[in-house]
Structure 1
Amino acid sequence: MPQSQFEELIQRTRAGDRGAENELLEKCRAYISLVARAQIEGWMRTKFDASDLVQQTLLEAHQGLSRFEGETEAEWLGWLRGILNHNTLDFARRYQGAAKRDVKREFSIDRAGQQPEASGQMKWELPDQADTPSRILLNREQEIQVADAVSQLPPDYQEVIMLRNLQRLPFKEVAERMQRSPGAVQMLWLRALNQLQELLEQV
């Protein structure tokens, strides 16, 4: 969705247009879902599902619309990530007695698949520098489109992209989590990127 249309949705939502609000929240569902999945560590997944975080986040966004002071898509997504981050920490504290958290593996939602550019802007960047299609740059203006495209991928493609590109795990650890060989995981990852690129080119 063009920036101007997204900002118009925000303005209509703030003016009390319930239809615009529903459309705005629904457009962000896949994005919030993807980041929520990346936010949850392995032990946390046995206690609650990412969908719980998504529902809670969207509900709180609806209830707290009057507290949103931004106007742009980037500000809106940042506000949603803040709500999601708070909910994730709250859920984690609730179940922290179930397992010991590995502080070194804690995942900051503000760093999900991103790294700072010299300009101070943040981008989703695939860490490997191999030839196409293993490296795709996706800036902030494309986050919702990327999340929508990822949500259309098969589950194992979604998983390998989430682990490799959002959580930035080495292939060895990705292979362990997915119970596959490192070589098989690398091939799966490349196929996932190929299909993701095809979907993005259709947008």
Structure 2
Amino acid sequence: MMSTVNKSADFLLARAQQGSGESLGQLLQLYTNYLRILVVSQLDGKLRQRVSPSDVVQETFFEAHRDFQQFRGKTTPEFLAWLRKILVNNLHTVVEKHVLAGKRDVRREVSAEKLGADLEKSTLRLDAFLPDPGESPSMHLQQREMQVRLANELAALPEDYRDAIVMRHLEGLPFEEIGRRMDRTAGAVRMLWLRAIKLLRERMATDDDSSGVNT
């Protein structure tokens, strides 16, 4: 069954394509947590001290609103894919401005294609929390919708729980490195992570369209 969130997104997209700027704004807000989680997964700790993930998301929303007439898709999954492309371009701009500018002497380059691939890896790590969608195209569309829901649940967790999950799963860091960043022992971080996973599982279990969280 199509979820209430997905029905809402489809309705808002249709209204936006009929010229409703208010509906477009509401549609974009549905993806705030999802895009923010992806941005966080691509910015290391030092870079996050200089760049706010929320600012990157807001810039993406601004550009999406400004350039919406260029969107040629008809479905919300196509719209989300379009948003992700804009997000990748903005991430590339951030990296060029804050990382590459100081290293031009070594001619280090980070392409938008590489950032897009890294973003896809983070998306796949999100999938590890969700049931196997199988081979059906419709199930894969549902999987993307569930990723958005998962991001919303992550955003609702206590900050230290959310940080532990993001660093462990989306950034792929070992407990020792997470402990260093959080000023805790590796053992303490592992216990924190286990509690975070338990709480996330409980929250996801309340969703009628989810059967649980895989660890």
TM range (shorter): 0.7 to 0.9
- Counterpart CA distance in 2 for 1:73 and 1:196 is 26
SS in 2 for 1:140: helix
Aligned residues: 186
Give the CA RMSD over aligned residues.
Answer: 2.5
- Distance of aligned partners of 1:2 and 1:148 in 2 relative to their CA distance in 1, 3 Å threshold: closer
Partner of residue 153, structure 1: 157
| Alignment gaps of 5+ in structure 2 | 133-142, 208-215
How far off is 1:98 after superposition?
A: 4.6
Contact kept, 8 Å, 1:171 with 1:182, in 2: the verdict is yes
- Counterpart CA distance in 2 for 1:22 and 1:98 is 36
TM-score, scaled relative to structure 1: 0.81
**Comparing both structures, which one devotes a greater share of its residues to helix?**
2
Partner of residue 140, structure 1: 144
1:14 aligns with one of 13, 17, 24:
17
2:91 aligns with one of 88, 91, 95:
88
Amino acid at match of 2:30: K
**Comparing both structures, which one devotes a greater share of its residues to strand?**
1
- Counterpart CA distance in 2 for 1:26 and 1:2 is 12
How many percent of aligned residue pairs carry the same amino acid?
Answer: 31
| Alignment gaps of 5+ in structure 1 | 116-122, 127-135
**Structure 1 ranges of 4+ moved more than 3 A:** 1-5, 97-103
Partner of residue 80, structure 2: 77
How far off is 1:154 after superposition?
A: 0.6
- Counterpart CA distance in 2 for 1:6 and 1:93 is 33
How far off is 1:167 after superposition?
A: 1.2
- Counterpart CA distance in 2 for 1:46 and 1:141 is 30
Partner of residue 177, structure 1: 181
